[in-house]
Amino acid sequence: MLVLGIDPGTAITGYGLVRGDRPGAPTLVECGVIRTHAREPLASRLAEIYDGICQIISEHRPTILSIEDVFYSRNVRTTVVLGHARGVIMLAAQQHGLAIHEYPPAAIKKAVVGNGAATKEQVQFMLTRLLRLKSVPSPSDASDGVAAALTYLLAPRLPTIASLSRPLQPGSQVGR
């Protein structure tokens, strides 16, 4: 199985493709960033992100999208604009038939490091160990995308945002 992990942003969207269907540890296939031009209107930047995600999906054919959920910033505008970026990314994934899983930043840190309050450096260190890499994926937005992909593979039983929003049936448990 090939998982596309995304760290959404309107200036820089990080991505990582991690394969996890073979015996042994997961492997990094590719990682990178989609950069947009800061002086362009938001709609143009969103189109660049959408086109970039569609190109990655068409080229690599992942089956899963693992995307970092919105973090709530003190700046409401930042949160709203980030939501727009997530929207076009999720639209591209849905149109290409990918299963979509959303994880809060703390869940990604917990899956990769074992601590939901881990630092960026701790996450990057664990990425190099878990994926047997010689160096940290860079830039940091790309490593965040790799961490999102790895989260799906390491913690498939973690409840996702979508599963938490559904009412529980009598006798059911979260994550089952």
- The pTM assigned to this predicted structure is 0.84
Q: Provide the mean pLDDT of the chain.
A: 86
Residue 96 — φ and ψ, nearest 5°?
-95, 5
Which of the four pLDDT bands, split at 50, 70 and 90, describes residue 71? low
Rounded CA separation 113/144 (Å): 13
* 102 flagged as catalytic: no
Give the per-residue pLDDT at 9. Answer: 93
If you average pLDDT over each of 113-117, 144-148, 169-173, which comes out highest? 144-148
- 48, 68, 102, 144: the catalytic one is 68
Give the per-residue pLDDT at 121. Answer: 93
Torsion of CA 122, 9, 71, 130, to 10 degrees: -30
β-strand pairing of 2-7 with 12-19 = antiparallel
Give the per-residue pLDDT at 70. Answer: 75
Lowest mean pLDDT among 15-19, 58-62, 158-162: 158-162
CB-neighbour burial class of residue 169 (10 A; exposed 0-12, middle 13-18, buried 19+): exposed
How far CA 96 is from CA of 46, 61, 111, 170, in Å, comes to 17, 9, 27, 34
Residue 47 above 50 pLDDT? yes
Residue 79 above 50 pLDDT? yes
- 69, 102, 141, 144: the catalytic one is 141
Q: For residue range 8-42, what is the model confidence (pLDDT) as tens digits? A: 999 999 999 999 976 668 999 999 999 999 899 99
- 7, 48, 69, 102: the catalytic one is 7
Q: What are residue 27's DSSP bridge partners?
A: 19
Q: pLDDT above 70 covers what percent of the chain?
A: 84
Rounded CA separation 126/147 (Å): 9
Rounded CA separation 102/122 (Å): 21
